[in-house]
A and B are shown apart, each in its own frame.
Chain A
């Protein structure tokens, strides 16, 4: 810890300020740190740190599912980095969810009068269960210290059920996040609103999760930590391309059926935002069809990540309709807190991956 602070003074200072912002929010309420209002109840934290964050960290359980459930052994070397990434990132998604809830210290109240027909209840339930499940997957893979061997072995014996449960929770969790916005009918631009948002969120989360694995592998290679395995990553790229084509196909079909295309070419940010977002899905899909150099995989994956983030922001902010004409723009503190919620898991990941993922010594 001390070493880390000495080596990364700037990052440490930024994260310290982020902790202070969280304390300000706890004392002064959400209004003290954000531009949210009654016309825009959910803003940047919800769309960037929770919706996008959950999608970008979907790779963790997805790879474990592909390897252990569907038996695609080729992705085995990715299990450890993806699980580490998923576990850390998802802990911060849960943190952002608690930060964004009005009364973080009263969330436990939900268990006394649960409305099992509420999408929000399902979202909380899945977020909590999924994060727990990912951590359960993560512990036996990584905890090797002799004093914890008993716990790790015990958890290892439950590995099968845990993996299957995580896979199920992952599917429901990602689709529930999309379902949240289904109730806001007529308040989201038809370019983004869809009754099948649960499916769209799920497929795009799969794509984003895989894309982030490619980005991670590329950056680890550049920093000299692990070599970029072109064979494995090419296979990831193929899978990613399949998800992208499915996503674009469903999205366009839905827009055509529901008449959402009418908004394209309209004035304002929404139309441009939508076109750029769709390019971020279509371009990488086409790029991944041909030969795959590490650099091309990396750029395509970055585009996919950007596209998914733009999609979530489109649903929650750009496409959000404000009858009173109040146009929401996140405050500086809001941007800063969201940045910290993204920076912290990346910092922790790069620190921990240096310790636990030294090289390709994969436990069979």
Chain B
């Protein structure tokens, strides 16, 4: 039974408790941060931070409103990273999480190029580096506990559950308060569907959620190339071998003629 998480942007108060509990569970140190114009603490995910709450001020007719959006790995249904990885170091589990296997990773960083949400991060200053990203607390979920972030969330902005229930809940909220919510569930179709879903009371363009992400799974780009390789290789081999045979015959014929 796959799991999903619903992020209700209207309910997030920006306390960043999810960030703290995430660091706690994953044994990560605090980052040294400075106050910047984006109020990010820190501004982006990094090898030490699997999730960040992003702060955005949207200008509206009745004044300016703050929106707080939690960012982390989206856990795509068909992850581009897993398709790109040469050694299956990133895999999609049946329960939903896209998990990382350190013991298979060679550090090529191709997952970082492939991910449409630009999530995976790298240990730039380690001799033996890892790829770092949210694991959807796969270890907790496997033993029947919800992820650390949603367990901590005090305002009900994060709801963890079976994918069916979570989607139903999102649709119920949109239907119950059409005057409040934008009628769209981000993540339902993005990149072929993700395990993390977002609903919001402001246009998604005001949030740090990339609207240009395509609706189909991204692994098709890699596969479109890889599916052509066998035919291409066989064709090239036949062509080369054929020409080699012909030019070999010609050469030996030429030599016989010389004699």
Contact = CB atoms under 8 A, between A and B. Distances in A.
Contacts of B43: 324
Given A38-B112, A102-B122, A124 B86 contact: yes
Given A29-B127, A71-B246, A106 B225 contact: no
A186 B125 contact: no
A102 B109 contact: yes
Interface residues of B, number: 60
A33 B141 CA distance: 39
B122 A41 contact: yes
Contact of B225 (A30, A36, A39, A119): A119
B244 A114 contact: no
B34 to A, nearest CB: 16
Interface in A108-146: 109-110, 112-115, 117-124
A250 B178 CA distance: 51
Q: Which 9 A-B pairs have the closest CB atoms?
A: A102-B107, A71-B247, A31-B124, A121-B86, A41-B112, A120-B86, A113-B88, A41-B109, A31-B125
Contact of B243 (A71, A102, A115): A71
A163 B236 contact: no
Interface string B76-96: 000010011111110000000
Interface stretch (A167-175, A220-228, A283-291, A296-304): A167-175
Contacts of A180: 110, 113
Contacts of A186: 116, 212, 214
A187 B218 CA distance: 13
Contact of A30 (B44, B124, B250): B124
Interface stretch (B65-73, B98-106, B150-158, B169-177): B98-106
Interface stretch (A3-11, A62-70, A261-269, A337-345): A62-70
B251 interface: yes
Contacts of B45: 38
Nearest to B112: A41
20 contacts: A32-B125, A36-B124, A39-B118, A41-B113, A102-B107, A115-B87, A117-B226, A118-B85, A120-B108, A168-B240, A172-B229, A180-B110, A180-B113, A182-B225, A183-B113, A183-B218, A184-B113, A185-B221, A195-B224, A323-B118
Contact of B104 (A65, A71, A109): A109
Given A121-B87, A172-B229, A101 B244 contact: no
A300 B236 CA distance: 30
Interface string B210-226: 10101000100111111
A164 B244 contact: yes
Contacts of A183: 80, 84, 110, 113-114, 218, 221-222
Given A118-B83, A324-B44, A168 B233 contact: yes
B126 interface: yes
A267 B108 CA distance: 33
A160 B244 contact: yes
A115 B116 CA distance: 20
B2 interface: no
A198 interface: yes
B164 interface: no
Contacts of A121: 86-87
Contact of A109 (B87, B212, B229): B87
A37 B104 contact: no
Contacts of A164: 237, 240-241, 244
A115 to B, nearest CB: 5
A107 B105 CA distance: 8
Interface residues of A, number: 58
Interface of A: 26-32, 36-39, 41-42, 65, 68-71, 101-103, 106-107, 109-110, 112-115, 117-124, 160, 163-164, 167-168, 171-172, 175, 179-187, 195, 198, 323-324
Contacts of A122: 226, 229
B123 interface: yes
Nearest to B225: A179
Nearest to B104: A113
Contact of A102 (B84, B85, B106, B218): B106
B44 A28 contact: no
Interface in B112-170: 112-114, 116, 118, 120-129
Contacts of A198: 225
A51 to B, nearest CB: 13
Nearest to A160: B244
Nearest to A188: B113
A187 B221 CA distance: 13
B46 interface: yes
B87 to A, nearest CB: 5
B236 A70 contact: no
Contact of B226 (A119, A124, A167): A119
Contact of A168 (B114, B120, B124, B237): B237
B243 A69 contact: yes
B222 A182 contact: yes
Contacts of B237: 164, 168
A120 B116 contact: no
B249 to A, nearest CB: 9
B87 A112 contact: yes
Given A103-B107, A103-B128, A109-B103, 15 more contacts: A31-B124, A38-B120, A71-B246, A101-B106, A101-B108, A106-B106, A109-B106, A114-B87, A118-B86, A118-B226, A160-B244, A182-B221, A182-B222, A184-B113, A185-B221
B84 A168 contact: no
Contacts of B106: 101-103, 106-107, 109-110
A121 B105 CA distance: 12
A29 B109 contact: no
